[in-house]
Chains A and B, each alone.
Chain A
């Protein structure tokens, strides 16, 4: 019996082997930190560690949506360009609402909200294609990959959108907490009227953008772990047939899953606008690869049924650390794609050849 032999393998793999199989990603992350700290300059500084978290937000958010999709046994290839679509829509509405005479305090959140709503549409289309019209996820979302990019280029007229409300960049570049030693502590507002040496010694803690990202990550991690919705997501990935026979409304569930994915993609688009104060169609073009890699490194199987938010967070940190570390060592940026692509293949090979090692619960 196959299950019996799997159990035997687990036993023979031993405790150490199983632990390694389950935690290799975490160990890899630590290894990265050690190597870059040894080779780089000031890699372990507070500033640099915060930079790593900022760098990981996009991968993390795209990866969150991708986690849900991959657990159901699907894949969403459109997230990178849906992020660009979100960035363009968000920036465009900021410009339009400002032109309509709205104050910055209204136009910025309103544009973000509109973007998040419109951002559900690509997911609705993907989900409908996959769940109701039985198009393979790979193809449905590949189609959206092209459509989202083309539409974004049309809306932005092939140029980055400019003329945004000036306050847009505040949220994206400020910190939750500022500490000027022996002088003041300030929440959210960057201290003014301080001397140059004070400025230099000032600590800026916790980028707002990271806080926003982790709030959404937290909410959806809760959804996945603690609710019926999450349980059904795993069940569909385990066996669509049993989910159907258990009375789960699989088509509507899958549609919502793809909408979650495109929600996270457009949220990444909004954060891009807040950080760079512009919107461009290629804001997240190559990030789809990162998102899938983060989820797979995190222990999700592309065959569906397994995966967890915790893993995706580690995966996103691995990628961000790599990226930041390579910049720190002045290694040309494009090399990251080679390394990350390589990690993806290794992660999939581990999943394929040592399922008994990776065989984790949720």
Chain B
């Protein structure tokens, strides 16, 4: 089997007495889409936040491209090529699409020989390229984000993530708050990334989405990884059974 892009071993995170993530092992291979499932409070987001540098693990190790990594901030993860797409997208609503794609990493050119000014033409051209690669159409790159639809925003956010040669993309509830048509578009994007050999971790409550797009499922309950399935060898019924377990207590726990 190909070398894992991401491997976490025995990853653990505690908040006071609560063990949010309890010795979880997980691997993600190039060109693979992994669904991360579990009820609210199962520990999915906490696990992801350790991988994207937001939280530091209390125990366990993270390997990226075969090398052990220690991340102190989200910037560390970004520099490694681990891009995270948050549910709220984290776009600057008042800026246009290409400014968002390049936010914080703007292209500049010299002006009068010594001042670096924004290179709008390059950023626009590069944005068109990356959006084309994603097969997305945005009516005008000059539109402010606040004037774009949910799916277009999602596209800009994904464009931003992959422009910087993301080696792993983590998507937290990518289809929540989207219309049906746009949900399908986002799922197409995930498949497209897979075809370009970029691995994706998808967190979602939408079992339909998960089953239509993932290769493998990792299911968590109460901080522990309770099951791992090849998507085509399982059924939504079985997965729901694993997520909820025999007891129905999970649903009442506060969200993490």
By Cβ-Cβ distance, the 4 closest A-B pairs, closest first, are A246-B104, A238-B92, A305-B94, A238-B94
Complex Cα distance, B116 from A231, in Å, reads 13
Residues in chain B within 8 A of chain A (CB atoms): 74-75, 78, 86, 88, 90-96, 99-100, 103-106, 108, 111, 115-118, 142, 144, 146-150
Q: How far apart sit A235 and B78, CA to CA, in the bound complex (Å)?
A: 19
A243 to B91, CA, bound (A): 8
Which of these binds chain B: A1-9, A77-85, A210-218, A315-323?
A1-9
Mark out the residues of chain A between 63 and 77 whose CB falls within 8 Å of any chain B CB in the assembled complex: none
CB–CB A243/B92 < 8 A? yes
A-B pairs with beta carbons under 8 Å apart, 27 shown: A1-B149, A3-B146, A3-B150, A6-B146, A6-B147, A227-B108, A227-B117, A227-B118, A228-B118, A231-B99, A235-B92, A235-B95, A235-B99, A238-B92, A239-B91, A239-B93, A241-B90, A242-B92, A245-B74, A246-B90, A246-B103, A247-B74, A247-B75, A247-B105, A248-B103, A359-B144, A361-B142
Docked Cα-Cα span, A238 to B88, in Å, equals: 14
Give complex CA distance A227, B117 in Å. Answer: 5
Contacts of A242 in B (CB 8 A): 90-92, 100, 103
Instruction: List chain A residues, Cβ under 8 A from B116.
Output: 227-228
Q: Mark A213-229, 1 if CB is under 8 A from B, else 0.
A: 00000000000001110
Q: What's the minimum C-beta distance from B116 to chain A, rounded to whole angstroms?
A: 7
A4-B149 contact given A227-B116, A245-B90, CB 8 Å threshold: yes
Question: Within A26-62, which residues are at the interface with B (CB < 8 Å)?
Answer: none
Q: How far does the alpha carbon of A3 sit from the alpha carbon of B108 in the complex, in Å?
A: 31
Tell me whether A239 and B149 are in contact in the complex, defined as CB-CB below 8 angstroms, given that A227-B118, A245-B74 are known contacts: no
A228 to B75, CA, bound (A): 18
The complex places the Cα of A361 from the Cα of B86 at a distance, in Å, of 26
Given contacts A228-B106, A235-B95, A239-B93, 18 further A-B contacts (CB under 8 A): A3-B147, A3-B148, A3-B149, A227-B118, A228-B118, A230-B118, A231-B95, A231-B99, A231-B103, A234-B94, A235-B104, A238-B95, A239-B90, A242-B92, A242-B100, A243-B92, A246-B105, A305-B93
Known contacts A246-B103, A305-B94; decide if A226 and B148 are in contact (CB<8 Å).
no
Interface size in chain A (residues, C-beta < 8 A):
29
Known: A3-B149, A6-B146, A231-B118. A226 touches B92 (CB 8 A): no
Report whether B108 and A238 are in contact in the complex, using a CB–CB cutoff of 8 Å.
no
Q: Are A227 and B115 in contact (CB under 8 A)?
A: yes
Cβ B149 vs Cβ A235 within 8 A: no
Nearest residue, chain A, Cβ from B79? A247
**Cβ of A234 to closest chain B Cβ, rounded Å:** 6
Cα separation A238 to B93 with both chains bound (whole Å): 6
Q: Which residues of A contact B (CB under 8 A)?
A: 1, 3-4, 6-7, 10, 226-228, 230-232, 234-235, 237-239, 241-243, 245-248, 305-306, 359, 361-362
Q: Collect the chain A residues with CB atoms within 8 Å of residue B103's CB.
A: 231, 235, 242-243, 246, 248
Which A residue's beta carbon lies closest to that of B107?
A228
Q: Given the complex of chains A and B, what is the CA–CA distance between A226 and B103 in angstroms?
A: 14
CA distance A241 to B92 in the complex (A): 9
A120 CA to B118 CA in the complex, in Å? 27
B73 to chain A: closest residue by CB: A247
Q: Return the contact of A226 from the options B90, B93, B104, B117 (Cβ within 8 A).
A: B117
A232 to chain B, nearest CB (A): 7
The chain B residue with its CB closest to the CB of A228 is B106
| Cα A4 to Cα B142 with chains together (Å) | 17
Q: Are B104 and A243 in contact (CB under 8 A)?
A: yes
Find the A residue at minimum CB distance from B99: A231
The CA of A239 and the CA of B146, in the complex, are separated in Å by: 12
B113 to chain A, nearest CB (A): 15
Q: Which residues of B contact A227 (CB under 8 A)?
A: 108, 115-118
Nearest CB to that of A247 among chain B residues? B104
Which residue of B has the minimal Cβ distance to A235?
Answer: B92
Q: In the assembled complex, which residues on chain A have CB atoms less than 8 Å from the CB atom of B74? A: 245, 247
Residue in B106, B111, B115 whose CB lies within 8 Å of A231? B106
Assess whether A248 is in contact with B104, with CB atoms less than 8 Å apart: yes
Residues of B within 8 A of A362 (CB): 94
Cα(A359)–Cα(B144), bound, Å? 10
For B105, the chain A residues whose CB sits under 8 A away are: 246-247
Q: Give Cα A111 to B167, complex, Å.
A: 56
Residues on the B chain within 8 Å of A234, using CB: 92, 94-95
Cα(A271)–Cα(B115), bound, Å: 28
